[in-house]
Structure 1
Amino acid sequence: MSSTVRPPVDILIRRLDPELPLPAYAQPGDAGADLVAAVDAELEPGERAVVPTGIAIALPDGYAAFVHPRSGLAARCGVALVNAPGTVDAGYRGEIKVIVVNLDPRERVSFRRGDRIAQLVIQQVEKARFHEVAELPGSARAEGGFGSTGGHAAI
């Protein structure tokens, strides 16, 4: 089986803080490029903060960037992103900021300037045209909502 590797998409980036690294992929094949904190931040249990990253980007039309959490921070520290994934639209030119929350019930979480706090995934997105109808066509799932397909044993 052969795979087709698409060339990378060119993203214009403005470094708002010249001392911080640009987003980078840690390993070959990674989907997300690491974003770092531009400032120190301390979060008590249950506290959230908006952490700047020191970069702004210009995406081509038809693309969006999505700010995803880092799984290691979630597993080790209970850190999550409030609006995961955060969406960066093609027309946005401001600084990318990460809304982090400390979900650990007991321990404070500290971020230092330069710490990797999230990852940026660039994706091609489709534009949709919405057509209002009186009724939608049927499907196997129909109106089954949250958890309607099962997946774990009931307690």
Structure 2
Amino acid sequence: MQIPVINRSHHPLPEYQTPHAAGLDLRANLEAPVTLGPLERALIPTGLSLEIPVGYEAQIRPRSGLAYKHGIGLVNSPGTIDADYRGEIKVLLVNLSNEPFVVNDGERIAQLIVAKHETIAWQPAEALSETQRGAGGYGSTGVG
């Protein structure tokens, strides 16, 4: 799949880190480091704008290494970039640790995954088909 991209950062375009990786790493495009204190969040620019094809979305997901080593996640995970958005991709990082974390220019801060999606049409109904689970919600299966 080819996706038109504008790169206003001074970093190379995102690349897959391994041959079978699903996500591309996004890098921070910063003029100065950003320090996130415990429980603080910040919108980090990437300098990238995309033209996602209709019927697809770009998902922004946390990087597992940042989450495990530093407690850094995304407030809206996964974030969705719709096919009609043409602005800069920004990543909403949050520090869930007890220590300050410094985001430096060029640091890999999130992953981008492009995924196909369906557009639904609602079909009003008076009842839904029966299942073994039924309306059982949180914890209703008794597992875990």
Partner residue, 2:39 = 46
1:151–1:53 Cα change, 3 Å: farther
Partner residue, 1:122 = 114
Q: Which moved more, 1:132-141 or 1:36-45?
A: 132-141
Please give the root-mean-square deviation of Cα atoms over the aligned residues, in Å. 1.0
Partner residue, 2:15 = 24
Distance in 1, matches of 2:133 and 2:126, equals 19
Partner residue, 1:6 = none
Deviation for aligned residue 1:41:
1.5
Paired AA for residue 127 in structure 2: E
Structure 2: 5+ residue runs without aligned partners? none
Partner residue, 1:4 = none
Paired AA for residue 75 in structure 2: V
Distance in 1, matches of 2:27 and 2:102, equals 13
Paired AA for residue 102 in structure 2: S
Percent identical pairs in the alignment equals 45
TM-score, normalised via structure 1 length: 0.88
TM-score, normalised via structure 2 length: 0.94
Kindly tell me the number of residue pairs found equivalent between the two proteins: 142
